[in-house]
Amino acid sequence: MEKKFWKGLLLIGIAMHILAAMLMPLGLDAHVHATYVTDGMDDGESHLEWGELRQDSPDSSTPSEVPSDGKWFAWHAIIEIWFSIFAPSMAILHVLGLVGGLGCLAIIYLATRDLFGAEQALKLTALASIYPPLIRATGRFYQEGIILILATLATYCIIKALRDPKKWSAWWAPPIISAIVILSFKGMPLWYILPAVIVLWYASRIEMNQIKITIIAISVELIVIYRNGISLSNPDIIPALLSAFIGCFIFVYLGMMLFTKTTGEDNEESRVISNGSLMVLACLVGWIAALWVTEAVALESGFFDIIRSFKNNPRYLSLLLIPLWFGRMLKTDTEGLTIEGPGRKITIVTICLMLLVNASVLAATGERGAEVIGTHLNGEIEEGEDILFISESSLAMHRMYSMKFPMDPDNDMNNLAYWRSNSTEWHAELLECEILQDVNWIVDYRTGQAIAPEGWIEVEFEGSELIDEKYHLYTWGGENERCS
């Protein structure tokens, strides 16, 4: 009976991954990375041509070329290979997201089956298949699915290395390579691998507990904040850490079902994997907290507004799903993952809640207004015509770039885009015909108040009925050229 339950759950999870790839819009980061890659494929150098994602000005942008400088080289290489096989498009990226999501489930099953047998492999793969951050990653083409593949392979190889009678085994190479690739995915310096190895080696030789996890988390948070040039007396430091631990409780303890009863006795293998995983967890909690504080300072925004905008940042903890469960399954005489015994009702309720969360996410699909407008502009906008993007969003530049890839998937057109807050004097700038002299399109991103000046006409575009009615698209409709 239990086997049928897990099989059914796995089928539901696979179906949700497929629906996510079909229904959800690409994520903001996916659009940015796709733009980098297509620009590199076009002229050999990867740039963003509409300016920095984080502008110095709080209410406007200045177009400039922003090179990738080799950051994210592994992630960009995957996308470029995919685009080289198929033509660049949003649909093709969704297919790659689905391949990554289902490939992740396949790797989890194969690795778990080899270590713990087919029964535990089925259960753990089924749990992963309905884990909300992974379904969201499949639909929005985020990195979590492919990162979990790397984390699973790294953990599998570490276990094999621990079982190898040779002290220095070839099994140690894949975890190091996986860590380097993950660092590249996140645009981090590759030398971080050195302190990471030292920290994980140290973690394998101590007993991690809540006090040590808290100390490590706040230490990482303070180091990252200091490195980012933020005062260590910032009042958001403690609220950010508490919020990160709450996110950890929801995304890890509940979402990964680690509240279920653990059985068996610890041994050397289980201690190494569990302590190493908890060390990574502590570092990620501190890093997530530091990201929230950094964004609040950079965007000059209230802390809780940032939490609302970046509420899904704890999804980075998803790479611990398999390492934490492998740490449990390695225990001597353990039952592993099961819904039988004490706590059965809570386990079933948690699974049902995850299914409801996934269903609600799929039903809402996500924000796609700028993406829809970009798709309309593909074929409508002429070479050299620029865009004025009016938005009050804290992620205005990200939103603006989410028009770029659908508008110009090959990145071979010469169009610039300018962001302005509606509180700026953008009407006057248009009339001055200086900086904005080539602007022929205006996008009102959900302000509902950016009324275009005389001579501009609103454009009806395909898909407008599916997005917020506050979106508006205008084009110059005067009898003469706008800045003749």
Q: Where does residue 454 rank: exposed (0-12), middle (13-18), buried (19+ CB within 10 A)?
A: exposed
Which residues are CB-contacts of 150 (< 8 A; sequence separation ≥ 6)? 178, 181, 182, 319
DSSP category for residue 236: T
Helix axis angle, 73-85 relative to 90-116, nearest 10°? 120
Number of domains in the chain: 3
In a domain, 363, yes or no: no
DSSP category for residue 26: P
Please indicate, yes or no, whether residues 105 and 171 belong to a single structural domain of this protein: yes
What is the C-alpha separation between 296 and 398, in angstroms, rounded?
16
What is the C-alpha separation between 189 and 72, in angstroms, rounded?
10
In a domain, 374, yes or no: yes
In a domain, 353, yes or no: no
Q: Which helix (H) or strand (E) holds 34?
A: helix 28-43
Give the CA diameter of the chain: 82
What is the C-alpha separation between 174 and 169, in angstroms, rounded?
11
What is the C-alpha separation between 76 and 96, in angstroms, rounded?
13
What is the C-alpha separation between 297 and 58, in angstroms, rounded?
11
Phi, psi of 328 (to 5 degrees): -75, -45
Helix-, strand-, coil-residue percentages of the chain, each rounded to 5: 60, 5, 35
- CATH number for the domain spanning 443: value is 3.40.190
In a domain, 345, yes or no: no
CB 173 within 8 A of CB 56: no
The two tokens of residue 55 are 């502008």
Asked which of 153, 187, 221 is the last residue of a domain, the reply is 187
The two tokens of residue 87 are 């033509």
Phi, psi of 88 (to 5 degrees): -60, 130
Regarding pTM above 0.75, the answer is yes
SS3 of residue 309 by DSSP: helix
Asked which of 165, 187, 209 is the last residue of a domain, the reply is 187
The two tokens of residue 342 are 């004490």
Q: Specify the residue for token string 């885009």.
A: 417
At 449 the pLDDT is: 66
At 184 the pLDDT is: 94
In a domain, 410, yes or no: yes
At 186 the pLDDT is: 92
In a domain, 316, yes or no: yes
Which residues are CB-contacts of 129 (< 8 A; sequence separation ≥ 6)? 9, 10, 12, 13, 14, 16, 17, 105
Q: Specify the residue for token string 């509420």.
A: 311
Please indicate, yes or no, whether residues 155 and 242 belong to a single structural domain of this protein: no
In a domain, 362, yes or no: no
Please indicate, yes or no, whether residues 150 and 258 belong to a single structural domain of this protein: no
Cα four-point dihedral sign 165, 104, 272, 261: negative
At 484 the pLDDT is: 67
Please indicate, yes or no, whether residues 62 and 171 belong to a single structural domain of this protein: yes
What is the C-alpha separation between 127 and 105, in angstroms, rounded?
10
Please indicate, yes or no, whether residues 284 and 386 belong to a single structural domain of this protein: no
Instruction: Give the angle subtended at the CA of 21 by the CAs of 15 and 22, to the nearest 5°.
Output: 90
Q: What distance lies between CA 8 and its chain's CA centroid?
A: 28
- Return averaged pLDDT per consecutive 10 residues of the chain, 484 residues in all: 89 97 93 95 90 87 91 94 94 96 97 95 96 95 96 96 87 94 92 89 85 94 93 92 95 88 85 93 96 88 85 92 94 84 81 93 80 90 93 87 94 92 89 90 78 83 76 84 78
CB atoms within 10 A of CB 309: 17
Q: Specify the residue for token string 């981090």.
A: 188
Asked which of 335, 351, 378 is the last residue of a domain, the reply is 335
Q: Specify the residue for token string 């492999």.
A: 121
In a domain, 483, yes or no: no
- Give the structural domain span for 258: 189-335
Please indicate, yes or no, whether residues 32 and 97 belong to a single structural domain of this protein: yes
Which residues are CB-contacts of 187 (< 8 A; sequence separation ≥ 6)? 71, 72
Please indicate, yes or no, whether residues 181 and 267 belong to a single structural domain of this protein: no
Please indicate, yes or no, whether residues 83 and 18 belong to a single structural domain of this protein: yes
Cα four-point dihedral sign 256, 260, 263, 265: positive
What is the C-alpha separation between 339 and 294, in angstroms, rounded?
41
Please indicate, yes or no, whether residues 198 and 295 belong to a single structural domain of this protein: yes
The two tokens of residue 121 are 């492999």
Distances (CA, A) of 111 to 120, 154, 173, 318, 418: 11, 10, 17, 17, 48
SS3 of residue 23 by DSSP: helix
CB crowding 399-429: b at 16 or more within 10 Å, else e: bbbbbbbbbbbebeeebbbbbbbbeeebeeb
Please indicate, yes or no, whether residues 52 and 180 belong to a single structural domain of this protein: yes
Please indicate, yes or no, whether residues 224 and 171 belong to a single structural domain of this protein: no
Please indicate, yes or no, whether residues 22 and 163 belong to a single structural domain of this protein: yes
Which residues are CB-contacts of 352 (< 8 A; sequence separation ≥ 6)? none
